[in-house]
Chains A and B, each alone.
Chain A
Amino acid sequence: MSDTNVGNTPPQDDLPQPVVRKSKLGFSLIWLVPIIAALVGISLLVSHFMSAGPQISVTFLTAEGIEANKTQVKYKNVVIGKVTTMRLSRDRSHITVAIDLDKSASAFATKGTRYWVVRPRIGAGGVSGIDTLLSGAFIGADAGDSDEDQSDFTGLETPPAVTHGAPGRRFVLHASDLGSLDIGSPVYYRRIQVGRIVSYQLDKDGKGVSLQLFIDGPNDRFVTSDTRFWNASGVDVSLGADGLKLNTQSLATVVAGGVAFQDPPGPHNEAPAAEMAEYTLFDDQATAIAPPDGKPRYIRMRFAHSLRGLTVDAPVELLGMKVGRVVSVNLDYDPTTKTFPVIVGALVYPQRLGQAHEKLAKAVGGPDDDTMFPRIMSGLVGHGLRAQARSGNLLTGQLYIALDFDPKAPKVAFDASAKPVEIPTTPGDFDHLQEQISSIVDKVEKIPFDSIGRNLDGSLKELHGTLKQVNTDLLPEAKKTLQGVNQTVGTANDALSEDSPLQRNIAGTLEELQRTVRSVRAFTDYLGRHPEALLRGRGSDAPPKISTPSPKQGKEEQP
């Protein structure tokens, strides 16, 4: 309120006076704004912490398709988390992926949960993960049952074939090799797919493969303790007496392989098998369904001659029944005889003999253990059981081992305690044949072909001289004779011709004879009517009409 500017100021009274209203509130409402802002911020913070689920880390062999802050974790295609960071392990052997799970997915941070990367996969059995071609890979999750918390997981490299809690049961198959089977290969029961192969691994000793398969419920009840599994891969073509048979489970098994199972025919255990029951995987249906082979027994045979054509896996047959197979063919040297015998090892399955085996066992008696087989064999060898290499296929010369009874076989000592059991042998049928042929050849050789030849030569020379003589002397004579014959025949011909004098004479004679016969008939007729004429001579009544009385008639009347 200085005085300096008073001159420019209008009088206070002229100016409008501001209206004064009473304040309603004592404090400035504007502070509500930052308070609200703070509240919002705090609520965001709280909700973030509330919604934050557990943090887990999963290791994978490769980070292919995984991107930090992008790759999602899904369970049944619902997003349950996200990859936050990714780093290489110190030894560079794998990568570790950190995942932030949603609060609702805290159950996935428990023991037994499995994680795997879902990528597009193309296998023989089909295509999976097609959607990831466009959306990018994601991490699949499958929770276990455990409540125990776990935050470090090892990721699966392949998706699990069976999700947790799916109805069904797992079984284990043992096979000698994997064949064309793979994870996901179908399992068929009566040609309906009821399960699939879940995993496989080499046995610890490396001598086989164990496959785990999963049969979906409720079909898992068809697997009993007696069920047989076989490899249904590929095409089974068999040529039998009833023609060509082509057998396959489905087109898929031809490409992708598969396993089929069935109960054996006949009475068997119908109760469903326990989980993780173990079975053998047979190569084909026929062997699978066949009665079990039981424990194989090793036998050894010593052949004194060559066994060309005998290969490992050649059959061993007892009276035409296949009871085993050859497992080894080796050459040996006998220093005493200075020969090379062939040692053939074979596995035989005595139980393939079925009833015969049981009866044999009963007959032999004694404990049913490892000594049983040698005792049975001892008896059989005593009755003439001999091994023989026979030709199974004349075209290829394949041999098989035949166990047959040869009553004429010379007695041999059989050592029942020897291990392995050694079966005496006889030469094979082919050897017999060879012997016979060689004896024939011997006999043929004894024939004196030289002297036979010489004699034959002389005889032929003689024959040659004889023929020459025939040609020079005999043939002209014969010619002359034939000419004479020809003339005679011509004369005879003339004599027999129609107008020949002989012919005419004969005709005249015959006519004369005819007339004579007629006169005789007239005479006999007259005599019939006038028998007295014989005494009185001919009466007055007319004599019978005779055209030309023959001179003979008169002559006959005379006597």
Chain B
Amino acid sequence: MNAPPRGRDLGLMSCHVCRLVTAWTEEPHAVCPRCGSPLHARKTGSITRAWALLLAAALFYIPANVFPIMRTQSLSSKDDNTILSGIVELWRAGSPGLAVIVFTASIIVPMLKFIILGYLLVSVQRSSGFVSRQRTKLYRFVELVGYWSMLDVFVVAILSALVHFKILSRVEPLPGVVYFGVVVVLTMLSAMSFDPRLIWDNRKTSQ
């Protein structure tokens, strides 16, 4: 298999911001001579950063699920719902479709992100060359679904803004939703920190 040469092989690297091609350097603190952005062949500390952010996200995911995210107040009742109890309530209230969507966005997607990112990081650290192409696809999938993870936050934000009829009925956000938002942001940052090129670094270049 004859793979194309890498920039390193050619002694080249480029600025991430202004795309200026510069000479190769291993120096981690190099900056672009044109725009002054940090210059690195691979994202510096990519794995460390991704790990740290992923860990933080996982930590925040606990309170996000334990604490109620939303308070629905109506004349006759006051309901505090966590993510899971909200889904159960939706299911019981006769909206299984909506329940599935919320379940997917709020539970499955974050969990998938943790698993996929974790797997990618582990596999990169172990210099595995196994199914590199598929792993890249996984990474792109994580990046893609990242945007949709905020669904729950949006639901709460929109409901809080719209359903505001004083005593008749009212929806209030509760601290849980903040933690959930932090989880989503942190996983996205983690995915962004991860440099997918690392997946390919272990392949054997055709000499």
- The stretch that binds B, out of A33-41, A337-345, A356-364, is A33-41
Asked if A9 and B59 sit within 8 Å, CB to CB, the answer is: no
What is the CA–CA distance of A305 and B151 in the complex, to the nearest angstrom? 101
Asked if A9 and B11 sit within 8 Å, CB to CB, the answer is: yes
Q: Within 8 Å CB of A22, what residues of B?
A: 29
Q: Is B21's CB within 8 Å of the partner chain A?
A: yes
Among A1-37, those with CB < 8 Å from B are 1-2, 4-5, 8-9, 12, 15-23, 28, 30-31, 33-34, 36-37
Residue on B nearest A67 in the bound complex, by CB: B77
Name the distance in Å between B130's Cβ and chain A's nearest Cβ. 25
Asked if B20 and A16 sit within 8 Å, CB to CB, the answer is: yes
Asked if B22 and A12 sit within 8 Å, CB to CB, the answer is: no
Asked if A18 and B31 sit within 8 Å, CB to CB, the answer is: yes
Residue on A nearest B60 in the bound complex, by CB: A37
> Quick one: which of A8, A15, A23 contacts B22, CB cutoff 8 A?
A15
Asked if A34 and B52 sit within 8 Å, CB to CB, the answer is: yes
Name the distance in Å between B3's Cβ and chain A's nearest Cβ. 12
Name the distance in Å between A441's Cβ and chain B's nearest Cβ. 86
Asked if B21 and A1 sit within 8 Å, CB to CB, the answer is: no
What is the CA–CA distance of A1 and B7 in the complex, to the nearest angstrom? 10
> Quick one: which of A18, A28, A136 contacts B30, CB cutoff 8 A?
A18
- The stretch that binds A, out of B32-40, B94-102, B106-114, is B32-40
What is the CA–CA distance of A135 and B76 in the complex, to the nearest angstrom? 4
Q: Is A78's CB within 8 Å of the partner chain B?
A: no
> Quick one: which of A8, A31, A34 contacts B59, CB cutoff 8 A?
A34
Asked if A33 and B53 sit within 8 Å, CB to CB, the answer is: yes
Residue of A21, A33, A41 with most partner-chain B CB within 10 A? A33
What is the CA–CA distance of A195 and B49 in the complex, to the nearest angstrom? 73
Q: Within 8 Å CB of B192, what residues of A?
A: none
What is the CA–CA distance of A2 and B60 in the complex, to the nearest angstrom? 47
Q: Is B134's CB within 8 Å of the partner chain A?
A: no
Q: Within 8 Å CB of B76, what residues of A?
A: 134-136
Q: Is A44's CB within 8 Å of the partner chain B?
A: yes
Q: Is B78's CB within 8 Å of the partner chain A?
A: yes
Q: Is A70's CB within 8 Å of the partner chain B?
A: yes
- Chain B interface SS verdict (over half): mixed
Asked if A28 and B48 sit within 8 Å, CB to CB, the answer is: yes
B79-96: contact bitstring with A at CB < 8 Å (1 yes, 0 no)?
Answer: 100000000000000000
Name the distance in Å between B61's Cβ and chain A's nearest Cβ. 10
A16 with B22, Cβ < 8 A, contacts A21-B29, A135-B76 known: yes
Asked if A41 and B27 sit within 8 Å, CB to CB, the answer is: no
Asked if A5 and B9 sit within 8 Å, CB to CB, the answer is: yes
Asked if B33 and A9 sit within 8 Å, CB to CB, the answer is: no
A34 with B55, Cβ < 8 A, contacts A20-B30, A28-B45 known: yes
Q: Within 8 Å CB of A16, what residues of B?
A: 20, 22-23, 33-34
Residue on A nearest B85 in the bound complex, by CB: A69
Name the distance in Å between A432's Cβ and chain B's nearest Cβ. 79
Asked if A18 and B39 sit within 8 Å, CB to CB, the answer is: yes
Residue on A nearest B52 in the bound complex, by CB: A30
Residue on B nearest A32 in the bound complex, by CB: B52
Q: Is B157's CB within 8 Å of the partner chain A?
A: no
Asked if B59 and A38 sit within 8 Å, CB to CB, the answer is: yes
A41 with B22, Cβ < 8 A, contacts A16-B34, A28-B45, A30-B48 known: no
Asked if B12 and A9 sit within 8 Å, CB to CB, the answer is: yes
Asked if B33 and A18 sit within 8 Å, CB to CB, the answer is: yes
Q: Is B118's CB within 8 Å of the partner chain A?
A: no
Asked if B27 and A134 sit within 8 Å, CB to CB, the answer is: no
What is the CA–CA distance of A36 and B60 in the complex, to the nearest angstrom? 10
Q: Is B158's CB within 8 Å of the partner chain A?
A: no
Asked if A17 and B31 sit within 8 Å, CB to CB, the answer is: no
Name the distance in Å between B123's Cβ and chain A's nearest Cβ. 21
Q: Within 8 Å CB of A19, what residues of B?
A: 30-33, 36
Among A131-172, those with CB < 8 Å from B are 134-136
Asked if B78 and A18 sit within 8 Å, CB to CB, the answer is: no
Residue on B nearest A72 in the bound complex, by CB: B78
Asked if B59 and A18 sit within 8 Å, CB to CB, the answer is: no
Asked if A2 and B33 sit within 8 Å, CB to CB, the answer is: no
Name the distance in Å between B107's Cβ and chain A's nearest Cβ. 19
Asked if A36 and B56 sit within 8 Å, CB to CB, the answer is: yes
What is the CA–CA distance of A21 and B57 in the complex, to the nearest angstrom? 32
Q: Within 8 Å CB of B63, what residues of A?
A: 40-41, 44
Name the distance in Å between A460's Cβ and chain B's nearest Cβ. 104
Residue on B nearest A15 in the bound complex, by CB: B23
Q: Within 8 Å CB of B56, what residues of A?
A: 33-34, 36-38
Q: Within 8 Å CB of B33, what residues of A?
A: 16-19
Asked if A70 and B9 sit within 8 Å, CB to CB, the answer is: no
Name the distance in Å between A200's Cβ and chain B's nearest Cβ. 34
Q: Within 8 Å CB of A40, what residues of B?
A: 59-60, 63
Q: Within 8 Å CB of A8, what residues of B?
A: 10
What is the CA–CA distance of A8 and B9 in the complex, to the nearest angstrom? 11
Asked if B22 and A37 sit within 8 Å, CB to CB, the answer is: no
Residue on A nearest B49 in the bound complex, by CB: A30
Q: Within 8 Å CB of B39, what residues of A?
A: 18
What is the CA–CA distance of A40 and B62 in the complex, to the nearest angstrom? 11
What is the CA–CA distance of A38 and B55 in the complex, to the nearest angstrom? 9
What is the CA–CA distance of A222 and B207 in the complex, to the nearest angstrom? 112
Q: Within 8 Å CB of A41, what residues of B?
A: 59-60, 62-63
Asked if A28 and B32 sit within 8 Å, CB to CB, the answer is: no
What is the CA–CA distance of A28 and B28 in the complex, to the nearest angstrom? 13
Asked if B207 and A2 sit within 8 Å, CB to CB, the answer is: yes
Asked if A33 and B30 sit within 8 Å, CB to CB, the answer is: no
Q: Is B186's CB within 8 Å of the partner chain A?
A: yes
Residue on A nearest B4 in the bound complex, by CB: A5
What is the CA–CA distance of A70 and B76 in the complex, to the nearest angstrom? 11
A18 with B32, Cβ < 8 A, contacts A30-B48, A41-B62 known: yes
Q: Is B125's CB within 8 Å of the partner chain A?
A: no
Q: Is B75's CB within 8 Å of the partner chain A?
A: yes
Residue pairs across A and B with Cβ atoms less than 8 A apart, 24 shown, are: A1-B11, A4-B5, A9-B11, A9-B12, A15-B21, A16-B23, A17-B22, A18-B13, A18-B23, A18-B30, A20-B25, A20-B27, A21-B29, A23-B29, A28-B48, A30-B53, A31-B52, A33-B52, A34-B56, A37-B56, A37-B57, A40-B63, A41-B60, A44-B67
19 additional contacts, CB 8 Å, given A5-B9, A9-B11, A30-B53?
Answer: A4-B5, A9-B12, A12-B11, A16-B22, A16-B23, A17-B33, A18-B13, A18-B33, A20-B25, A21-B30, A21-B31, A30-B45, A31-B52, A33-B56, A34-B52, A70-B79, A135-B75, A135-B76, A135-B78
The list of the 8 closest CB pairs from A to B, nearest first, reads: A18-B30, A37-B56, A37-B59, A15-B23, A34-B56, A34-B55, A33-B56, A30-B52
B residues sitting closer than 8 Å to A (CB atoms) are: 5, 9-13, 20-23, 25, 27-34, 36, 39, 45, 48-49, 52-53, 55-57, 59-60, 62-63, 67, 75-79, 186, 193, 207
